[in-house]
Homo-oligomer: A and B are copies of this chain.
Amino acid sequence: MIKLFIIDDHELILEGIYSLLKDEKDLEWLGTAKTPEELMLFLKKKTPDVLLMDINLPHKSGMDLCLEIKKLYPAIYVIGLSTSDQASVIRKMLDNGASGYLLKDALKNEILAAIQTVIKGRTYISHSVAEVLKKKASNDNLPLLTKREKQVLELIAEGFTNQQIADKLFLDVTTINSHRKNMLTKFNLNNTASLIKFALTNNFI
């Protein structure tokens, strides 16, 4: 019996997965959560073998949550779940310890296959996802933002100037300027406008 837990903020997805899997003999349905908090509370009591996790949770990205979980409960196999087929997101998820990745258009067999695969310690990448990873190999070479850069970029997008950001983060204004220039350089852009557009369309912020 594989103990299964699911976190997703969408009732319909929870229902859908439950409905798909409830009759499987070798699956034990531990429960569901809609928020990271609910999940963490539950994990203090019981530990699932496999955790299906939506990566678009409110207030917290599944990427970060996955990292946390794997730190606290390394034995749990995490399978990412999303509608997004963005290679960067998928790769980040795997980097953060996920054992598999499913798109939400996955069929029953695919979900079962994923669970059976990860429980053996192997990694399951669905067909469609694998293709995306291959196709967007170039996309993946995109230098990702570091924590600080992301933080700075978010503040830039909110309209703060370098000086204001520096004050907020207790840093020197030249530091913020460095980060800004680094981002422009690494993405080969030449001003803030294009940087913000790039970041938003690539879901960096």
> Do B11 and A83 touch across chains, with their CB atoms under 8 A apart?
no
> Do B200 and A158 touch across chains, with their CB atoms under 8 A apart?
no
> Do B83 and A157 touch across chains, with their CB atoms under 8 A apart?
no
Q: A195 vs B190: C-alpha distance in the bound complex, in angstroms?
A: 17
Q: How large is the interface on A (under 10, 10 to 19, 20 to 34, 35 or more residues)?
A: 35 or more
Q: Does A27 contact B (CB under 8 A)?
A: no
Q: Does A171 contact B (CB under 8 A)?
A: no
> Do A197 and B158 touch across chains, with their CB atoms under 8 A apart?
yes
Q: A107 vs B159: C-alpha distance in the bound complex, in angstroms?
A: 37
9-residue interface stretch from A13-21, A66-74, A90-98, A118-126? A13-21
> Do B159 and A10 touch across chains, with their CB atoms under 8 A apart?
no
Chain B residue nearest to A159 (CB atoms) is B194
Q: A195 vs B192: C-alpha distance in the bound complex, in angstroms?
A: 11
A106 contact from B12, B195, B200, Cβ within 8 A: B12
Q: A106 vs B11: C-alpha distance in the bound complex, in angstroms?
A: 7
Chain B residue nearest to A196 (CB atoms) is B196
Q: Does A146 contact B (CB under 8 A)?
A: no
> Do A194 and B157 touch across chains, with their CB atoms under 8 A apart?
yes
Q: Does A9 contact B (CB under 8 A)?
A: yes
Q: Does A24 contact B (CB under 8 A)?
A: no
Q: A190 vs B1: C-alpha distance in the bound complex, in angstroms?
A: 59
A-side residues, CB < 8 A to B, are 9-20, 56, 83, 104-108, 156-159, 161, 189-197, 200-201
